[in-house]
């Protein structure tokens, strides 16, 4: 069963989520999910496992067990990338990690922006995640819309 978008693109209704699964676990689980017939794979940079997911997908594609067209891959713009100026950088990073030329759906992961830092989110003295004061959702949409043919 699939869902059809306005542009005719079909998305399998049932997706395989990879939320924060450790690399060894996601490698085994993704192989089993693909073997069982899952074709909609949901991932994100903040799950910290896109490189492993990319390795598994590459193995399946290189072995001819799947074609890219059979897959529906979803990833997300991370919270520290929700600025118009960094959308392309983070999309390209996900594409590199996933070892793909395109993703089928690219979400904005959260409706807010956090400072871009190496490592975990920046926290204040109370242990709360530091948020930036504004997130320009219209600018994000415009940049993302222009990257459709990236």
> Catalytic residue numbers?
47
3-class secondary structure, 107 = strand
Tokens of residue 98, six digits: 């996933």
Q: Identify whether the C-beta of residue 37 lies closer than 8 Å to the C-beta of residue 30.
A: no
CA distances from 45 to 8, 23, 87 (A): 27, 13, 13
């Amino acid at each position: 069963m699939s869902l059809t978008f306005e542009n005719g693109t079909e998305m399998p209704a049932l997706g395989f989520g990879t939320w924060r699964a450790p690399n060894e676990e996601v490698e085994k689980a993704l192989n089993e999910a693909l073997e069982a017939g899952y074709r909609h794979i949901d991932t994100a940079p903040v799950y910290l496992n896109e490189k492993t997911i990319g390795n598994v997908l590459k193995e399946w594609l290189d072995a001819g067990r799947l074609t890219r067209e059979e897959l529906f891959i979803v990833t997300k713009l991370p919270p520290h990338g929700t600025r118009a100026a960094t959308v392309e950088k983070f999309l390209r990073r996900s594409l590199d990690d996933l070892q793909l030329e395109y993703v089928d759906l690219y979400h904005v992961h959260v409706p807010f922006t956090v400072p871009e830092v190496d490592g975990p989110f920046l926290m204040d003295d109370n242990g709360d995640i530091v948020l930036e004061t504004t997130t320009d959702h219209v600018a994000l949409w415009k940049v993302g819309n222009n990257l459709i043919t990236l």
